[in-house]
Structure 1
Amino acid sequence: MAHIPVNHPMRPLYRTLAGLIGLYILVFGIISLTQTWGDPLFDRGDVTVLGLRTNLAFSIVSTLYGAVLFVGALIGNNVEHLINLAGGLIFILGGLAMLIVLRTDANILNFSMTNVIVSFVFGLLVLTAGLYDKVGTSEDVEAEERYRRNAVPTPTSSGE
């Protein structure tokens, strides 16, 4: 983790971006919950909300996941940093898993190719936000700068 910048100047932009993604997922989850309420949990129907296919299970997951991302953006600090790192990886791995099972009966979250692409894009954006939103003290910033400048050891003469 020594290569992750501390107090990056563009941190507010990344925090806002992650918060907006979390808000979108939360709104998507709530709307899709209202659209799929009463359907079977893992239904494979044609319910589409905000351009993404969904079912009741995906609605519940999206609502919880969006709430965690959005609340993390509101809290800020290193809580947001850890949530964004983990959240970005979950998005990417979830998209990859759903891509693998896209046209099989194992597609329990009713993903379409659009869902997979959105999952990858959101995952990359949230992961990028997680890489640049770490907060630290001025001592942490100085230590990171010293590490970055001295990361490549220089050969010293041994007096031979």
Structure 2
Amino acid sequence: MKLQDSLPVDHRLGQVYRYSAGTIGLFLVVFGIFGFTNHVGFFSTHGDKVAGMSSNGLLSLLSVLFGVLLMAGAVRGGNDASTLNICVGVLFILSGFVNLGLLDGKHNFLAFHMQNVLFSFVVGVLLMMFGMYGRVTTHLPYDNPYWKERHPKAAKRQHVDLPTSALPQG
């Protein structure tokens, strides 16, 4: 049994996962395309300025690939988009830490500068926050599908206690 098989589906939360993945993915694709138009070397360690950040061919390619991946997650939606947001967010944060250590070095193959590191941290935290939205907290509401999945007996009792107008339709 896969983890995704046991997760509930909630369309209201799915919109948050979908729109956040799509928006950030679109921004990454646009950033990558602008990086390609500057014709900077693929492994240039100095890069060229694009949207206030440094970029080279490799960073542009990675930006487009991750942007397309996030937009594909947005199309798929639901729990898949949520999990993808969390995973890509973790990768962005790890990338920020790794590239922070490589700044101004000869192994800075992504041409990162401090703006890129900060951007990587901010996008990573945003993706993780949007991916975990409504899934991870100690105070989920009783009608949240993740709370119901974790507390099936209590969810049945709550279901009985709710007025009929609050019960799911269909």
TM-score tier, shorter chain, comes to: 0.7 to 0.9
User: Greater relative contact order: 1 or 2 (C-alpha under 8 angstroms, separation 6 or more)?
Assistant: 1
Partner of 1:17: 20
Residue 127 of structure 1 corresponds to 128
Superposed CA offset, 1:8-63 (max 9, x none)? 85552343223211110011011111212xx4321123411111100011111111
Match of 1:143 in 2: 149
Q: What is the TM-score when the length of structure 1 is the normalising length?
A: 0.75
Q: Does 1:60 align with 2:66?
A: no
Mapped partners of 2:36, 2:103: distance in 1: 22
Residue 72 of structure 1: aligned partner: 73
RMSD (Å) for aligned C-alpha atoms: 2.8
Count of aligned pairs between the two proteins: 142
Q: Which runs of 5+ in 1 are unaligned?
A: 150-160
Q: TM-score when scaled to structure 2?
A: 0.71
**Could you tell me which of 7, 10, 24 is aligned with 1:7?**
10
The answer as to 2:113 corresponding to 1:112 is: yes
Sequence identity, in percent? 35
Query: Does the residue aligned with 1:53 lie in a helix, a strand or coil?
Result: strand
The 3 A distance-change label for structure 1 pair 59 and 148 is: farther
Would you say the 8 A contact 2:36–2:60 is kept in 1? yes
1:148/1:130 CA distance change after superposition, 3 Å: farther
Does structure 1 residue 27 correspond to structure 2 residue 27? no
3-state SS in 2 of match to 1:48: strand
> What residue is the counterpart of 1:87 in the other structure?
88
- Closer, same or farther in 2 for the Cα pair 1:40/1:19, shift >3 Å? same
Q: Which ranges of structure 2 fall in alignment gaps of 5 or more residues?
A: 136-143, 156-170
Q: Secondary structure at the match of 1:43?
A: coil
* Alpha-carbon shift at residue 122 of structure 1 (Å): 0.3
Mean alpha-carbon deviation: is it higher for 101-110 or for 45-54? 45-54
Q: How does 1:96-107 map to 2 (within 5 A)?
A: 96-107=97-108
C-alpha distance in structure 2 between counterparts of 1:148 and 1:121, whole Å: 37
Contact 1:5/1:144 (<8 A) preserved: no
